[in-house]
Amino acid sequence: MTSVVTRPQPPSESKRRSSRKIPTLALVAPSVIVLILWMVVPLAMAIWFAFQRYNLLIPDNREFIGLGNFIFILTDPALWISIGTTLVLVASVLLITIGLGTLLAVLFNQDFPGQGIARVLAISPFFVMPTVSALIWKNMLMHPVNGLFAQITRGLGLGAIDWFTDFPLVSIIIIVSWEWLPFALLILLTAIQSLDTSQIEAARMDGAKPLQLFRYVVLPHLSRAIAVVAMIETIFFLAIFGEIFVTTGGGPGLATTNLAYYIYLKALLEFDVGGASAGGLIAVVLANIVAIFLVRSVASNLDT
């Protein structure tokens, strides 16, 4: 994280000093201090635990074992599978939400009757708690016997799909995409609305086709908004938990175990504090690698 923070500042940045004396440091300090504590204390504890054999079920057997936990975790095939699942999950949902979100933003930017109400309906999934949306999808839509999808496909004579058995990860991707598509839509729509209409008119005068218009005028204008959407979504997608918790429980096998769920299984089901801490640190490192890329790309787009 420090590599993100200590970006070199242009020395020429002018200091705007007000005539008024304000204890700015005292105003900013409380927020900064609690956040530092929130980062440093648990992280230091995680590092401390990660070098110990420490199982809550057999607390007397606690001892310093060096890199033992890391070796154990890093050679656990389940870890690598869960990292792969995490990356597939994050990448697929990012692609779906931003791709579809851009198209829908263009659509909802058009004027049509009842557009305001339609937009409110379309963004509603964002406000539904993950446990509820996962349960709706699992029971009422994707259930292999009584779910609506199964009823429809069976009615058409196509048989029924057992979503969470046959396509577990795809099912999770569908649910998370449904939850987050409205978020991408909202932000990208705002960005499109801020597009200068005279620019579009000018391009149209020059004979640009709608597709060219989209490719060379709209899309470049959206790049900053897309970066912001990608960053915020990635923060939340790396930690997807509730949806898996109430639907598949990480299974079948390891099919839907992402890194968050893997560590949860280690920590709260196997009571392996040392192993879970080592896994947690690996998650922190992974998140940092992603963060460096994302925060950098957003930072270069921000004017503070």
User: 253 — alpha (psi -120 to 50), left (phi > 0) or beta?
Assistant: left
Interface map 102-141 toward another protein (x if CB under 8 A): --x--xx-xxxxxx-xxxxxxxxxxxxxxxxxxxxxxxxx
Binders in 178-197 for another protein, by CB under 8 A = 178, 181-182, 186-187, 189-191, 194
- Phi, psi dihedrals of residue 168, rounded to the nearest 5°: -60, -50
Distance, in Å, from the CA atom of 255 to the CA atom of 253, rounded to the nearest integer, reads 6
Q: Which of 78, 161, 208, 246 binds another protein (CB under 8 A)?
A: 246
Least separation in angstroms between residue 107's CB and another protein is: 6
**Among 59-67, 88-96, 159-167, 243-251, the segment contacting another protein (CB under 8 A):** 243-251
Distance, in Å, from the CA atom of 70 to the CA atom of 275, rounded to the nearest integer, reads 7
Q: Which of 46, 94, 173, 218 binds another protein (CB under 8 A)?
A: 46
DSSP secondary structure, 110-176, as one string: S--TTHHHHHHHHHGGGGS-HHHHHHIIIIIIS-TTTSHHHHHHHHTTS----HHHHSHHHHHHHHH
For position 31 contacting another protein by CB under 8 A, the verdict is yes
For position 72 contacting another protein by CB under 8 A, the verdict is no
For position 78 contacting another protein by CB under 8 A, the verdict is no
Closest to another protein by CB, 225 vs 255, is 225
For position 28 contacting another protein by CB under 8 A, the verdict is yes
Distance, in Å, from the CA atom of 157 to the CA atom of 33, rounded to the nearest integer, reads 62
For position 81 contacting another protein by CB under 8 A, the verdict is no
